[in-house]
Copies of this chain bind each other. A is one copy, B any other.
Amino acid sequence: MTLPKAVVLLSGGMDSATTAAIAQRQGFDVHALSVRYGQRHAVELHAARRVAERLGVRHHVVLDLDLRAFGSSALTGDAPVPKDTPMADIGAGIPTTYVPARNTIFLSLALAWAETLDARDIFIGANALDYSGYPDCRPEYLDAYARMAALATRAGVEGGPVRIRAPLQSLTKSEIVRWGLALGLDFGITSTCYDPAADGAACGRCEACLLRLQGFEEAGVPDPARYQAAHA
């Protein structure tokens, strides 16, 4: 029996790794897509490779696309990554770590690959609750993307448009931790930190680390990720 193909956006973080594991458990033949977009933490691409290997996905493409040609953001440029933000303030505005149109670009690349593969499903780890205030993680954005994608492609014209699946959309970080663990995912191989050390150790103080640590704490399990000594 041939499994239906799906393209899964895989950053190497805990959300996209969980999403890839979900896609696989739901019976999809996973084709994982990562993008080397000029992020200063190449550590996350190593994590994406580890996750793809561990899950044994069919194919993992790492695409080069240097978004630094357009200017910078904290994730691609030289601005400092905010640290120790109070939890109540995370998600209150659009943070400096927002990369312009990143999910739109990544979904569009996934759409191209899906059309080439004749895949009807694209998975993204977007999360609307603990979402750090990015506009392109909101449910209404993903719905609008799906409506556009249905008109954009050969499949959309000839019947059978692509579905944009965001299974973590309305989950808390602790629910994501529990779902990932239930699927047997080793979160120790994922990388969430916006500002990791060269050896991959997480800072424990950026918004991504703070949300992750809170998620593990609420789930009542230890985070297997390595953190920098100053944090531990």
Bound Cα distance A109, B69 (Å): 11
**Which B-chain residue is minimally distant from A106 (CB atoms)?**
B108
In the complex, per-residue mask of A108-147: 1 if CB is within 8 Å of any chain B CB, else 0: 1101110111000000000000000001101011001101
Number of copies: 2
The segment from A18-26, A148-156, A166-174, A199-207 that touches chain B is A148-156
Interface magnitude class on chain A: 35 or more
Report whether over half of chain A's contact residues are helix, strand or loop; otherwise say mixed: helix
A85 contacts the other chain (CB 8 A): no
Contact in complex: B116, A136 (CB < 8 Å): no
Bound Cα distance A133, B158 (Å): 12
Say how far A85's CB is from chain B's closest CB, in angstroms. Answer: 18
Bound Cα distance A144, B115 (Å): 19
Contact in complex: B145, A116 (CB < 8 Å): no
**Which B-chain residue is minimally distant from A66 (CB atoms)?**
B64
Say how far A178's CB is from chain B's closest CB, in angstroms. Answer: 30
A42 contacts the other chain (CB 8 A): no
A79 contacts the other chain (CB 8 A): no
Q: Which A residues fall within an 8 A CB radius of B?
A: 61, 63-67, 69-71, 94, 98-105, 107-109, 111-113, 115-117, 135-136, 138, 140-141, 144-145, 147-154, 156-158
